[in-house]
């Protein structure tokens, strides 16, 4: 009998989305457990890791940088380098960028998740947006999405703008097909203008994977939009939305490639 994929949801002081993230993993048929930053538990028993959203260490200095230096992240890095899955959502995405595992082309930090550029709101911004899957080929998190499939999701961050001064890096990300999701309008059109691009991210980037496709950093909260009752103006039933496919894709990938 095939083992259930096991996911460790990594908790750092200040995270606040760990329970919803764990529950979405369980909803799609995976085992999931919240693991504290100072736990000595053996992480090798898990097939993948998720770092949820929130405000680790109060986002002091800059978002994600303190958690990125925690000893646990070295164990997580070793697991991801062996091919295990590693997903960072919102604050988790900021942590992965601060470790250099995203975009992961060099053994150093290559990008930033910088403060939002928004003409109306300075700092933290929470809103429903649309994102489009543009990468079906090499990401473990998009294998169940159709090309150009559109997802309605919420964002909730103050520093969510994927950016770099290195124009060659952006071109390399495009060439490698590492950009997984882009902000778009309701019809899927990519418009580099507020409110379609809610934070001024380069190329409307909402999510980036590493070149191998087993690590991904995504700013929108798919765990908060996985059921119709979570959506704005919903009919309040318990139907699953296409946002939950990110967790279903993880399960499928682990079953086919890892377990």
Higher-pLDDT residue of 237 and 158 is 158
Q: What pLDDT is attached to residue 135?
A: 74
* Helix, coil or strand: residue 170: helix
Judge whether 47 counts as a catalytic residue.
no
**113: CATH:** 3.40.50.880
Q: Active site includes 149?
A: no
Cα–Cα distance for residue pair 100/96, rounded to 1 Å: 6
Instruction: Supply the pLDDT for residue 237.
Output: 79
If we measure between CA atoms, which residue out of 19, 90, 9, 29 comes closest to residue 240?
A: 29
Q: Give the per-residue pLDDT at 14.
A: 96
The residue annotated as part of the active site, out of 70, 98, 159, 223, is: 223
At 25, the pLDDT band (50, 70, 90 cuts) reads: very high
- Please check whether residue 118 is in contact with residue 200, taking contact to mean a CB–CB distance below 8 angstroms: yes
Taking the C-alpha atoms of residue 118 and residue 7, their distance in angstroms, rounded to an integer, is 35
The pair of three-digit structure tokens given for residue 207, joined into one six-digit string: 């999510």
Host domain of residue 22: 6-258
Confidence (pLDDT) at 224: 97
Q: Per the domain annotation, does 1 fall within a domain?
A: no
Per-residue tokens: 223: 């765990």
Q: How far apart are CA 246 and CA 173, in angstroms?
A: 21
Instruction: Please indicate whether residue 212 is annotated as part of the active site.
Output: no
Q: What is 31-66 written as a DSSP string?
A: EEEEEETT----GGG-SEEEE--B-GGGG-SSTTHH
Among residues 98, 159, 221, 248, which one is catalytic? 221
Query: Is the pLDDT at 3 greater than 90, yes or no?
Result: no
What is the per-residue pLDDT for 259? 66
Residues contacting 17, CB < 8 A, separation 6+: 52, 53, 54, 89, 90, 221, 223, 224
C-alpha span between 22 and 204 (Å, rounded): 28
- How buried is 161 (Cβ within 10 angstroms: 0-12 exposed, 13-18 middle, 19+ buried)? buried
Mean pLDDT, all residues of the chain? 94
For 217-256, the pLDDT digits (tens) are 999 999 999 999 999 976 677 899 999 999 999 999 999 9
Retrieve residue 214's tokens: 């087993």
Q: Which of 70, 90, 184, 248 is catalytic?
A: 90
Percent of the chain with pLDDT over 90: 90
What does the DSSP assignment read for 82-146?
A: TT-EEEEETHHHHHHHHHTTTT-SSSS---EEEPP--SS--S-EEEEEEEEE---SS-TTSTTSP
Task: Quote the number of domains for the chain.
Answer: 1
């Amino acid at each position: 009998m095939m083992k259930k994929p096991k996911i460790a949801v990594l908790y750092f002081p200040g995270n606040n989305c760990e329970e919803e993230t764990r529950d979405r993993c369980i909803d799609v048929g995976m085992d999931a457990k919240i693991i504290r930053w100072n736990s000595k538990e053996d992480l090798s028993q898990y097939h993948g890791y998720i770092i949820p959203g929130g405000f680790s260490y109060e986002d002091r200095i800059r978002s994600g940088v303190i958690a990125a230096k925690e000893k646990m992240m070295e164990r997580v890095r070793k697991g991801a380098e062996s091919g295990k899955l590693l997903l960072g959502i919102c604050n988790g995405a900021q942590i992965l960028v601060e470790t250099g595992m995203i975009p992961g082309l060099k053994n150093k930090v290559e990008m930033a998740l910088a403060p939002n550029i928004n003409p109306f709101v300075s700092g933290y911004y929470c809103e429903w947006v649309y994102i489009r899957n543009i990468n079906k080929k090499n990401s473990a998190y998009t294998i169940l999405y159709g090309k150009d499939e559109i997802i309605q999701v919420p964002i909730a961050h103050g520093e969510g703008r994927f950016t770099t001064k290195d124009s060659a890096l952006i071109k390399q990300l495009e060439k490698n097909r590492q950009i997984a999701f882009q902000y778009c309008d309701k019809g899927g059109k990519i418009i580099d203008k507020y409110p379609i691009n809610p934070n001024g991210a380069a190329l409307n980037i909402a999510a980036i994977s590493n070149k191998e496709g087993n690590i991904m950093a995504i700013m929108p909260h798919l765990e908060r939009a996985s059921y119709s009752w979570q959506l704005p103006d919903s009919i309040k039933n318990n139907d699953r939305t296409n946002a939950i496919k990110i967790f279903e894709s993880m399960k499928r990938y682990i079953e086919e490639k890892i377990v």
